[in-house]
Amino acid sequence: MFENVFKGFSFIKESFSLIGKDADVIKPSFYSIFVGVFFTIFSVIIMLFLESGLKLGNIFYLFAFLVLLGNYFISYFFTGMTAFLVYDYFKDGDATMSEAWAATEKNKFTILYLAVISAIVNIILGVLRGKAQRGQGAIGVGGLSGMILGFIEKAWTVGTHFMIPAIVIEDRELGSAVERTTQIIKRNLLPIGVGEIAVGLVTGIISFIGIIIAIFIGFSLVNIAGPIIALLLAAILIVIVIALSMYVTTTYHTCLFLWARNVEVAPGSSIKPPAPIANALGIR
């Protein structure tokens, strides 16, 4: 466990160094949060207004699905931009926002299709988890069914993290991106598993500590700066923590994706992965 923690810290240190070399790589993570929050608040206000005035009934759930879909699309779109920026940096030594936007915008419909599938998967897993908790699940009751659903959810999440670079960097349609992702995971199952544990564990720990610190600072400043400023400062710190977590996760999967591509180009040769993931995977 401690070895995984050290590997995770090593990757995070290396990925943060990329921000110092080219600050553009972190920008889409902040954009994703701001756009997502604005979209959610705006959508909820509209939904509540329509519900109170028109009594939408079951149509309300359709609007709720569209809000979920919109959030997935926003998240995937800016994740695609981050993936392309990381790729652009390792390719040319300079991450260019305009190129990342163009590459992602070009594949917006494929990203939308992926968002639709993710929203449906999320709803199905939520329904199954609810039934399992009530003892009515078709696949089992109790902890076992929860573990199975958790594994499916994690597998799909990891899969999407590899599909997005395939879509944006390699300009693939959804079916081709799924096939590409399946190949990469099958051929690199052990490194992916090791990296997921290392990076996921440390990112989770740091995010949790960061959010706790942000909340503590906010409460500490209530009597000094006033509740509004204290709340605003805490919110800013939490946004920074979440953005960094999103960036680290995307950078890890993009670096692993790029390494898998390079290995395919020159099979049998000793090709080192990009610097940020070399230590996390234990590869020298």
Instruction: Give residue for tokens 């564990």.
Output: 201
End-to-end CA distance of the chain: 20
Q: What is the pLDDT of residue 111?
A: 96
Q: 282 pLDDT exceeds 60? A: no
- Report domain extents, the chain: 1-281
pTM: 0.84
Q: Of the given ranges (1-10, 111-120, 200-209), which has the lowest mean pLDDT?
A: 1-10
Residue ranges of alpha helices (H) inside the chain are 2-21, 27-54, 59-92, 97-106, 108-133, 143-169, 174-187, 189-220, 222-225, 227-265, 275-278
Q: What is the pLDDT of residue 137?
A: 47
Token couple for 142: 């109790």
Q: For residue 245, which of 214, 284, 281, 283 has the smallest C-alpha distance? A: 214
- Crossing angle of the two packed helices 97-106 and 59-92, in degrees rounded to 10: 130
